[in-house]
Amino acid sequence: MMNGRKTIGILGGMGPAATSELFSKIINYTKVKRDQEHIRTIVMNDPTIPDRTEYILGKGPNPIPHLINNIQKLSQVGADMIVIPCMTAHSFISELQENSPIPIINAIELVETYLINNYPNIERIGLLATNGTIKSGVFHKYISKELYIPGRNDQKKLIEIIYGDNGIKAGNVSDKQVSGIKRILFNMGKHNIQAVIAGCTELSLVMNEKNMSLPVIDPITLLAKHVVKIGRI
């Protein structure tokens, strides 16, 4: 920590667009009059980290050693604390925190605090997330509200929207992706959900309260605002 201000390390690359989105939001939410007032940030954009969902589903290599190695690097180059744009990677948050020399902010805990403070009367919330995130139960672990996930067919459509050849991870953030998510939310609405969590980082690239019919809780936005708050202390 230099001059009393914290340096924030972004453990990114999962994927690069989501990492860029977090960094962009941190800049945009920081009210400044000059460059020197911005948050000191170190970005580790490493796309070679093994896929988190594939590992959770037993289909790919373990990304945790790679993540821990990058955490060590961020610490060595001056980061005082770490944030992780990837929500699926939060499935390993406890192990990562145990092996980190510096604090790691849990974005899903920020979601819980936000829901308690801003939507105390909402009882049932939709969760859009990867298969790995859902299987790990990480949102259910930290969120006290009742969570509802898409049905099997809609979950397959959501994964195609995220991972498909023409999906968000491939760089497609068109109206087609927005329309696909809207159809999924329409079906989930039959189960009386009152808000939705954009539980995969890439979804924050196309989902917001202006183009969705429900309140959208975006962990990336909450994480960016938290970084601005703690980075200026």
Among the listed residues 134, 200, 222, 224, the single catalytic one is: 200
200 is catalytic: yes
Among the listed residues 11, 82, 84, 86, the single catalytic one is: 86
On whether the CB atoms of residues 204 and 194 are closer than 8 A, the answer is no
Radius of gyration of the chain (CA): 17
Active site residue ranges: 86, 200
